[in-house]
Structure 1
């Protein structure tokens, strides 16, 4: 992973804010050769006000999705889940009866990702939601390299239709990559489908 001088400066400043040295591994150079694709289900789309309901993730290594190494955790929330959000993620209050508290859930997620690069669809939102919990606990924000699949898709499409309107909706990207829609909308399934998109786009780059 290559960092610019400015990126190195930001990482050093971020590391200096770390409250618990037990998590310093997040800043280590990743030598696993793995990537983590992750997704969150939330009470809404405002990181300042909304909360995480679940986190799902899967690892990629050697251009393969390691479906045997998935991560899923449900998170206790303090806000009422709106009927509108339940229609999207299908997570009901009864589904969260045995959920983990947010501190434990986020720490488990950090242990799963380590210092691996993170991949996602509209990753900025999911990272903002994770950072909302990480910063009060550890004093830092996620230092991992971030890879956005919609950006890869856009950059490939714009060379073919430079004046075109590129549809970046998740279902559209799946369809145009000739990938199956797994149907059930939850964090783990979304992470696996995003991993499929990433591999399709990077393995067929330029085609």
Structure 2
């Protein structure tokens, strides 16, 4: 079913969401008919990591280019408003989503909606046969060789064309049965609608099997508070993880992406967050 969507891409100082950071945000918004509505293109000042020679050669972004740019704290709320309520599309989405969630944590932004994500890398591997699934290798297929790769906005335009190409293939293959399953939220994959934390749920979400699950959030003093997770319900499943609603000890319910909850189970989660301040 057609819907509004935003294609986005980050250029970063490296591959670790905890140690590196976003230095360019690109995004393009489309309507249900694949007509472009708006663009978001912004360099971001680096604060805790360097722009190496290799990154400059790859992206064309020099350290001097970032000196007078806004920080991630200044620009992230605008970007979240730009994508709010839309399907978000990215190539190798787990990489970009991990940097997005880390930025949300670093900026202490709360009440962020669970993202609905379409990963063109994962879907193209299901639907196409390619020698390599790197985004730049789709430019021939999509007739977009005039665009330079590893520029966030250019990569968005390429990803958008790839998404539209994949959607045409999926329309041919889509059956009434799969549409019904999507409308039902694919609950059959997870049993009934109970929020009981079963071993099956843990395995499907790649969560620890034997220990209590925890959720962290910062209080008004920006100190980390730890809560035990007593219930998990799966609201939707996407190509990259699931949208969850978790129940805490005080019956509070919080929406969260499964990948983000998985990160919180790491023994050094808070330590890493404190070190990166």
Please report the TM-score for the alignment, with normalisation by the length of structure 1: 0.74
1:26-73 deviation per Cα after TM superposition (whole angstroms, max 9, x unaligned): xxxxxx94101000000011111101101000012133241x510011
Q: Indicate the residue corresponding to 1:99 in structure 2.
A: 69
How many residues align? The count is 169
CA distance in 1, matches of 2:132, 2:24: 27
Judge which range, 146-155 or 180-189, deviates more.
Answer: 180-189
Judge which range, 190-199 or 55-64, deviates more.
Answer: 55-64
The counterpart of 1:168, out of the listed 130, 133, 142, is 133
Q: Does 1:89 align with 2:54?
A: no
Q: Which runs of 4+ in 1 moved over 3 A?
A: 139-142, 204-207
Contact 1:65 / 1:195 at 8 angstroms: preserved in 2? no
Q: Does 1:153 align with 2:153?
A: no
Q: Does 1:49 align with 2:42?
A: no
Give 5+ residue unaligned stretches, structure 2. 174-277
Give the number of the structure with larger relative contact order, counting CA–CA contacts within 8 Å between residues 6 or more apart. 1
Q: Indicate the residue corresponding to 1:134 in structure 2.
A: 104
Contact 1:38 / 1:118 at 8 angstroms: preserved in 2? yes
Q: Does 1:75 align with 2:44?
A: yes
Please state whether the residue corresponding to 2:25 is helix, strand or coil: strand
Report which of the two has the higher share of strand. Answer: 2
Report which of the two has the higher share of helix. Answer: 1
Please report the TM-score for the alignment, with normalisation by the length of structure 2: 0.56
* Alpha-carbon distance, 1:150 to partner: 1.3
The counterpart of 2:94, out of the listed 94, 114, 124, is 124
